[in-house]
Amino acid sequence: MTEATEELPPAPETAREVFGDRFPDAVRYAELLADVGVTRGLIGPREVPRLWERHLLNCAVLSEAVAEGVTVCDVGSGAGLPGIPLALTRPDLRITLLEPLLRRTNFLQEVVELLGLDHVTVVRGRAEEVLGELQPVHVVTARAVAPLERLAGWGVPLLRPYGEMLALKGDTAVEELKSARAALSKLGVVASSVLHVGEGIVDPLSTVVRAEVGESPGGVRFAAKRAKAARKGPRRRR
């Protein structure tokens, strides 16, 4: 056992409530993050003592904002946040973990197989690269990937009509949304808001920016790009 793993605190009681039957899997995931997640550079060693509150639970409560039985693409999934906690709490979802870096996708695939997450698929690539290859989804999620305006440019085109992007943000959420509204409108976003989830579970509450699209997510330019990519067929990746 590595020093980082020894620093992992016990799971709080709220984690049992949130993860239910998958609580042992959530513990195993936390252990993996604290161990190989640190040694492979997926998370910083200073994050280990606050893995539960700041990372796993902070991401798991996003499920409050996700409708039942929808498809989800977690853009820039990294070490699997928020995609893996969301998958552990919501077996009704079909989730794609989208990540461009090989060492991260290797880790994600190992976690998916180890925890038996049959409703989760790992895809290596950038959002702009897989446009037209992945089936449009109901929901795009992201956490700590990029400023909202840039993130929306990657994530919104992956949505199906009337889908929504849910971006976990911090204290700057309101300011980011205000400055990004013009860009969001050009991408086909018809409604946007800031919501807080996780009452009684996390403190402070998790802050989420919700961006809902209309009939043409990503705007006309992205719709044309997606159609062109679909006609070419799947892209080979070495």
User: Is 81 annotated as ligand-binding?
Assistant: yes
List the CATH number of the domain containing 201.
3.40.50.150
What total of structural domains would you count in the chain?
A: 1
The angle subtended at Cα 95 by Cα 170 and Cα 226, nearest 5°, is: 90
What is the DSSP pairing of strand 206-213 with strand 159-169? antiparallel
Which pLDDT belongs to residue 216?
81
> Within a domain: residue 19?
no
Instruction: Determine, yes or no, domain membership for 3.
Output: no
Range of the domain at 184: 60-232
Residue 6, both tokens: 């020894």
Q: What pLDDT is stored for residue 132 in this prediction?
A: 86
Burial of 224 (0-12, 13-18, 19+ CB in 10 A): exposed
What is the dihedral angle through the alpha carbons of 7, 167, 64, 110, rounded to the nearest 10 degrees? Answer: -50
pLDDT given for residue 231 in this prediction: 52
For residues 10 and 5, which has the higher predicted lDDT (pLDDT)? 10
Contact yes or no for 59/124 (Cβ under 8 A): no
48: in domain: no
Question: 164 vs 222, which has greater pLDDT?
Answer: 164
pLDDT digits (tens, 9 = 90+) for 187-207: 999 999 999 999 999 999 999
| pLDDT for the residue numbered 236 | 41
pLDDT of 224 above 80: no
Would you say residue 102 lies in a domain? Answer: yes
What does pTM read for this prediction?
A: 0.90
Known binding residue 143? Answer is yes
State residue 198 phi and psi, 5-degree precision.
95, 20
Does residue 4 have a pLDDT over 50?
no
Q: What is the pLDDT of residue 217?
A: 84
Assigned token pair, 145:
């990937």
Average pLDDT across the chain, whole number: 91
Flag whether 76 is marked binding: yes
Q: Is the pLDDT of residue 50 over 80?
A: yes
Whether residue 17 is contained in a domain is answered as no
Contact 139, 74 (CB under 8 A): no
The better pLDDT of the pair 16, 215 is held by 16
Residue 124's DSSP bridge partners are 99
Residue at 159 is within a domain:
yes
